[in-house]
Amino acid sequence: MKDLLWDEFQDAVQEGLVRHRSILDVVTKLQDSHVRVAGAVFKSATTCGCIRINAQKPQVPPDISLQQLKTYMDDHIEGELCAHCREVLEEEIGRVLFYLAALANLLDINVYDVLIKENQKVSALGLYHMS
Ligand SMILES: [Zn+2]
């Protein structure tokens, strides 16, 4: 059975989107929401300090398999988000979802259908998907 939560959300966004109905506004707001997510991540490191971003070139031996490569890749995050930074980031991710739903509405795309297709691709391709 199809989960209706996303469909309900898309409908609610459709109803709630009054001021920024133009595709131009919606695409701009969606891009802006992505920038805000990145800003929230960086502020967690540079303003709050609950996480540290410690990035360096990975030391990968030659001739290893893609499966082995995974173990040499680092997420470059030290520490954990504090409650405040988590709340801010969740809010910004929510904004991305809102404008993603708004864009999908304007172009008659059902994001839940996209999610199902993407899940099938990830499940089928595993490691090779978007690597
Ligand atoms: Zn924090």
**Number of domain units in the chain:** 1
Ligand 1 centroid, distance to 51 Cα (angstroms)? 7
Residues whose CB is under 5 A from ligand 1 (ion)? 44, 48, 50, 82, 85
Ligand 1 centroid, distance to 38 Cα (angstroms)? 14
Residue 127 confidence (pLDDT) above 80: no
Residue 124 confidence (pLDDT) above 90: no
Domain, as residue range, for 115 = 5-128
% the chain with pLDDT above 90: 60
Q: What is the DSSP letter of 22?
A: S
Please give the mean pLDDT across all residues of the chain. Answer: 89
Ligand 1 centroid, distance to 98 Cα (angstroms)? 24
pLDDT in tens, 7-63: 888 888 888 877 768 999 999 999 999 999 999 999 999 999 999 999 998 888 888
The whole-model pTM stands at 0.83
Ligand 1 centroid, distance to 107 Cα (angstroms)? 37
Select the more confidently predicted residue: 67 or 38. Answer: 38
Ligand 1 centroid, distance to 72 Cα (angstroms)? 27
The pLDDT, as a whole number, for residue 63 is: 86
CATH number at residue 113: 1.10.287.1080
- For 28-95, give the DSSP string: HHHHHHHHHHHHHHHHIIIII-SEEE--------SS--HHHHHHH----EEE---HHHHHHHHHHHHH
Select the more confidently predicted residue: 123 or 125. Answer: 123
Ligand 1 centroid, distance to 90 Cα (angstroms)? 13
Name the helix (H) or strand (E) containing 130. none
The pLDDT, as a whole number, for residue 3 is: 65
Averaged pLDDT for residues 72-92? 95
